[in-house]
Amino acid sequence: MRFGSPRLRHSLVRGGALRREHEPSWVFHRINAPKNIASNTSVCDVECFTGMVALLNSKPAAPFALWPIQLYDPDAGFAWYTGSGILITQVCAERGTAPVATILSNWIDETLASHREEIAQSGGLFAVHDWRQVRRYDSAARSVWFERMKKRPKGYLRKAIVIIADNPLLKMAVAGGNLLAAISLDGHTKVELASDIHAVMRQHSLMPPK
């Protein structure tokens, strides 16, 4: 019993690490097997089935609800590389933790490695982070985020936009983080805060990946 298309099999992730060809493509986390699965069904088949259910029960929030799934982790959210050096992430967790920051950082590093030439030709990575569902984040998450950022080559990021809900305390925390980001990137990268994801998409002509 096997589920999934070849296109998805190479893009779905767990913990931010891209899957290898020999790994089950639908395994996001282990859960109890459905009772109607035969006792002689292999472990791989059960994992493939349960992983497929996890994916079908997960859906990006608007305006990405109809976008094809590229990168996904049940604890963090979704991400899309749309071409022209643009990476969009959407966090589905209400709390930003160190594991969530690690997954997002892994996705960024994988994108930089997989699309190195196109990103360089575009002048660096343009990251759009949809964090509207985040209500608070831990100091450990911030530490992970900036430590990973410091390890990347200078000039890797040409621009970043962080979209958050209308939460004054969170805005202050993220704004402080943006200042640190600008300092760590020699002040050459423009980091913006926004609250209207639709306006950001219109302004930058953000489209689904082909």
- The DSSP-derived string for 144-160 is HHHHHHHTSPTT-EEEE
pLDDT at residue 20 is higher than 60: no
| Chain centre distance of CA 125 | 14
The three-class DSSP label of residue 202 is helix
Q: What's the angle, vertex CA 148, arms to CA 144 and CA 154, rounded to 5?
A: 145
The highest-level CATH class for domain 71-204 is alpha beta
Domain boundaries, the chain: 6-56, 71-204
pLDDT top residue among 65 and 22: 65
pLDDT given at position 179: 62
DSSP H helices, the chain, are 6-9, 43-56, 98-114, 116-121, 139-150, 168-184, 197-204
Residue 24 identity: P
Q: Considering the entire predicted model, what is its pTM?
A: 0.73
Could you report the per-residue pLDDT of 101-124, keeping only the tens digit for each? 999 999 999 999 999 999 999 999
